[in-house]
Amino acid sequence: MCNLYSHLSNREAILAFVQDVKRIHDTMGNFEPQPGIYPDYLGPIVRNTPDGRELAKARWGLPSSQKVIYDATVKRVEKLRAKKPDQPIDFDAMLKLEPDIGTTNVRNIKTAAGKWNQHWNRWMGVENRCVVPFTSFAEFDNTLGEDGKKRGNTWFALDESRPLMFFAGIHIPDWSGVRKQKLGFEEHISLYGFLTSEPNDVVGSIHMKAMPVILTTPAEVEMWLTAPKEEAISLQRPLPDGVLEIVAVGKSEDSDSR
């Protein structure tokens, strides 16, 4: 699961890469390099809007399914009842305020039977597709190094120069819900996440379960942003074996040395 990535590129490179640039809007404001983007951080995305494409920022982490939220509420209620068995509990009120930290990676777009996953299908239209610019991403390596400590984050990029690439993403422009329990109130925010697939050999050497879906050409970006969903979903595949390099190990951020 990719829960950390870096974006060291710039506005001009993104606009040059993404086609239909004449219609793109820019609501980014200040655009500084981000050597470490974590879940719930603001990150840049290019998304479709009724008025054209837009370069904007959103928070990383799509809504979890209703079942995940319901099950989390049940567990929280059970803990409260164990501590204070005589205290009345309003389950519906707790369910409404159950925090959703978000789903960063989306794998099961379709079920094992080949049907569209109901939770994700509602956001698979072109109006909710986006691309997420990045220059490297990390997977955590639990194996021990020579010092007896876990190796930590292993950073992957196309090569040492860390050229711009894009994740195939989904965005929700106006989500309402509770993000953090300590806040205890609904927020109205824009969210995004990106698809994953089985890993190629490079990523699989560190993380055997999955890798992000990566788009490396303007044609692939255009296909993800415009194609019918049955065609666009064909992009949910790993990069070929041998593509990507390990460019850093053990770093919490990937600032490069350029």
* Model pLDDT for residues 210-220, shown as the tens digit of each residue: 999 999 999 99
First to last CA, the chain: 27
Give the least confident one: 39-43, 106-110, 149-153, 235-239: 149-153
Q: For residue range 182-210, what is the model confidence (pLDDT) as tens digits?
A: 656 677 899 999 999 999 999 999 998 99
State the pLDDT confidence band at 65, using cuts at 50, 70 and 90.
Answer: confident
Q: For residue range 125-145, what is the model confidence (pLDDT) as tens digits?
A: 999 999 999 999 999 987 756
Q: Which residue(s) pair with 62 in the sheet? A: 103
Distance in angstroms (rounded) separating the CA atoms of residues 204 and 195: 16
What would the mean pLDDT of 46-62 be, rounded to a whole number? 93
Query: What is the Cα gyration radius of the chain?
Result: 20
- Amino acid 39 reads P
Residue 177, pLDDT > 90, answer no
Give the least confident one: 4-8, 76-80, 93-97, 241-245: 93-97
Assign a CATH topology to domain 5-64+100-249.
hypothetical protein yedk fold (3.90.1680)
User: In the prediction, which pLDDT does 258 show?
Assistant: 46
Domain boundaries, the chain: 5-64+100-249
Distance in angstroms (rounded) separating the CA atoms of residues 178 and 175: 10
pTM of model > 0.75: yes
